[in-house]
Chains A and B, each alone.
Chain A
């Protein structure tokens, strides 16, 4: 089945630790995205990538880092510099960047204790 997978589903970390969230897609999509969702709110864009080895900051990139070494994979690292990292993180992909339909993974719930 083609789709987007995210792991783990739930993640607990101590304050001050970096943590990496996984996102993999087998849809052969060029573009991939990371969003953050806080309770009762919409999604906010963290980073996006149109092509391998290239990525751009979204609206709330501070405290996060990404890499795009393979077309299928777009991992997100939540660093200790992120002031309020507890949130629901969603990964998405689209065929291209310019307004193509986005498809989402199941998400990772990160709790920092």
Chain B
């Protein structure tokens, strides 16, 4: 099956810093989503981005499907950005999740 790798596995940021999270996938995909899992376990949809670039406030994402990667940018990080960020790719109608990037934003 398709392999999804996220990097880095852990990230510690000071409040106000910028960061980039990466998602590599091993095969062509129909679609890709980025999620933020909050401390209570809820998965929050960030981006549905099979290709191109999208922005939502301080967050933006870019997917280059031909090169099989996606990037999530966090700018001016806040403590509420802490949590785990997951990339999930759709392969044959089923989403395959990466292992996630654990982000801690310190005051």
Q: Which residue of A lies closest to B29 (CB)?
A: A99
Q: Which of A16-34 contact B (CB under 8 A)?
A: 33
A48: CB under 8 A from chain B? yes
Q: For the complex, give the distance between the alpha carbons of A41 and B4 in Å.
A: 13
A61: CB under 8 A from chain B? no
How many positions in chain B have a CB within 8 Å of any CB in the partner chain?
25
Contact residues in A for B93 (Cβ distance below 8 Å): 50, 97-99
A45: CB under 8 A from chain B? yes
Residue of B4, B43, B98 with most partner-chain A CB within 10 A: B43
Q: Which residue of A lies closest to B31 (CB)?
A: A99
Contact residues in A for B48 (Cβ distance below 8 Å): 101
How many positions in chain A have a CB within 8 Å of any CB in the partner chain?
25
Q: Contacts A42-B86, A58-B94, A90-B43 hold; do A101 and B33 have CB atoms under 8 A apart?
A: yes
Q: Contacts A99-B30, A101-B33, A102-B88 hold; do A42 and B99 have CB atoms under 8 A apart?
A: yes
Q: For the complex, give the distance between the alpha carbons of A52 and B4 in Å.
A: 30
Residue of B93, B97, B100 with most partner-chain A CB within 10 A: B93
B27: CB under 8 A from chain A? no
Q: Which of A63-71, A74-82, A103-111 contacts B (4 or more CB under 8 A)?
A: A103-111
Q: Contacts A88-B41, A90-B43, A99-B31 hold; do A44 and B94 have CB atoms under 8 A apart?
A: no
Binary A-proximity of B58-97 (CB < 8 A = 1, otherwise 0): 0000000000000000000000000000101010011111
Our pick among A58, A101, A104 for the contact of B43 (Cβ within 8 Å) is A104
Q: Which residue of B lies closest to A43 (CB)?
A: B97
Contact residues in A for B90 (Cβ distance below 8 Å): 98-99
Tell me whether A98 and B30 are in contact (CB under 8 A): yes
A-B contact pairs, 24 of them (CB 8 A): A33-B95, A42-B98, A42-B100, A43-B97, A45-B95, A45-B96, A48-B94, A50-B93, A88-B41, A90-B41, A90-B43, A97-B93, A98-B93, A99-B29, A99-B31, A99-B50, A101-B48, A102-B95, A104-B35, A104-B42, A104-B43, A106-B40, A106-B42, A107-B42
